[in-house]
């Protein structure tokens, strides 16, 4: 089992990318579990097609510990196991602590042993990297962290903060930085800006995604690009990226 955490600034296209990676990996024959770690709880929506699924924190709030593992998961496209951590009641509680509680509850209920996924992907908000938002980086959770950014200044700033957090955890057995994913917004000097970021944090750009109307068209259908438009150039980009992640994680060699 390989465990990957994907971080990025809110609105950078992180959940769209992660869901398409999950769909692509499923099509390749891998059993995938995607865990949304954003309080908005919308990471997996394009995989299962429902407006909303019950989050782990909702179950904890309403049922304490009186619920089953099956109550926490929803099956999506290609058998992808979808989980949403959720967040606290608005105005009450800490979203970071909520992620900690949700991930601990998944482990307590035996999610990984029961479903035995080949790939676990944590989709994590990257505007802040403290407390619970760093939980997926910790030992026992992700093995590699990938950061999604565009050439926009705020996205690059968030990516640099994430890299700094990973560097700070070095030596504790936490996840390593696997590389940067460039999700193009077609801003001025985008490639050069992201290349400079990669150099500054001693990493590399391991994949690029085009800015494409196909992504929005798929989202309008409530699906991933991989499901809605499998023969599109954009779907092929996601498949190529999925293979690169597997290579970096040592699953495939070519």
Instruction: For 157-198, write each residue's pLDDT tens digit.
Output: 999 988 988 888 777 778 889 999 999 999 999 999 999 999
| Catalytic annotation present for 66 | no
Does residue 228 register a pLDDT over 80?
yes
Q: What is the arithmetic mean of pLDDT over 73-95? A: 81
| Catalytic annotation present for 40 | yes
Q: What is the arithmetic mean of pLDDT over 117-143? A: 77
User: What is the Cα 187 distance to its own chain's centre?
Assistant: 24
Write down the domain spans for the chain: 2-248
Range with the lowest mean pLDDT among 78-82, 84-88, 90-94, 208-212? 90-94
Does residue 73 register a pLDDT over 90?
yes
Q: Which of 27, 42, 118, 127 is catalytic?
A: 127
Q: Which residues of 39-63 are buried (b: 16+ CB within 10 A; e: fewer)?
A: bebbbbbbbbeeeebbbbbbbbeee
Q: Which of 9, 105, 109, 223 is catalytic?
A: 9
- At 26-55, the pLDDT tens digits run 999 999 999 998 888 899 999 998 888 999
Helices (H), the chain: 14-27, 45-48, 56-63, 95-108, 111-115, 153-168, 190-200, 213-220, 225-228, 233-248
Does residue 93 register a pLDDT over 60?
no
What pLDDT was estimated at residue 110? 92
Question: pTM (2 decimals)?
Answer: 0.93
Q: Which of 27, 40, 42, 118 is catalytic?
A: 40
Does residue 226 register a pLDDT over 80?
yes
Q: Which residue, among 110, 211, 202, has the nearest Cα to 151 in the 3D structure? A: 211
Measured between its terminal Cα atoms, the distance across the chain in Å is 19
Res. 254 pLDDT band, cuts 50 70 90: low
What pLDDT was estimated at residue 250? 86
CATH topology of domain 2-248: Rossmann fold (3.40.50)
Q: Which residue, among 123, 177, 120, has the nearest Cα to 3 in the 3D structure? A: 120
Angstrom CA distances, 117 to 22, 48, 82, 179, stand at 12, 17, 11, 23
């Amino acid at each position: 089992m390989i465990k990957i955490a994907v971080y990025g600034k809110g609105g950078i296209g992180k959940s769209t990318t992660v869901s398409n990676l999950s769909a692509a990996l499923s099509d390749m024959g891998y059993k995938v579990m995607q865990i949304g770690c954003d309080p908005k709880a919308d990471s997996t929506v394009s995989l299962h097609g429902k407006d909303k699924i019950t989050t782990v924190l909702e179950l904890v709030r309403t049922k304490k510990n009186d619920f089953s593992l099956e109550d926490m998961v929803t099956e999506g496209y290609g058998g992808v196991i979808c989980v949403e951590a959720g967040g606290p009641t608005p105005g009450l509680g800490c979203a970071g602590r909520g992620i900690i509680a949700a991930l601990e509850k998944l482990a307590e209920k035996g999610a990984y042993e029961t479903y035995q996924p080949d790939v676990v992907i944590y989709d994590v908000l990257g505007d802040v990297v403290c407390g619970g938002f760093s939980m997926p980086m910790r030992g026992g959770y992700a093995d590699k962290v990938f950061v999604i950014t565009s050439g926009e200044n705020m996205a690059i700033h968030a990516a640099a903060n994430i890299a700094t957090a990973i560097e700070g955890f070095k030596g504790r057995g936490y996840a390593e930085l696997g590389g940067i994913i460039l999700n193009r917004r077609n801003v001025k000097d985008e490639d050069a800006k992201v290349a400079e970021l990669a150099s500054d944090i001693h990493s590399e750009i391991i994949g690029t995604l085009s800015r494409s109307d196909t992504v929005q068209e798929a989202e309008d259908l409530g699906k991933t690009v991989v499901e809605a438009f499998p023969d599109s150039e954009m779907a092929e980009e996601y498949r190529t990226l999925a293979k690169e992640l597997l290579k970096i994680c040592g699953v495939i060699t070519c």
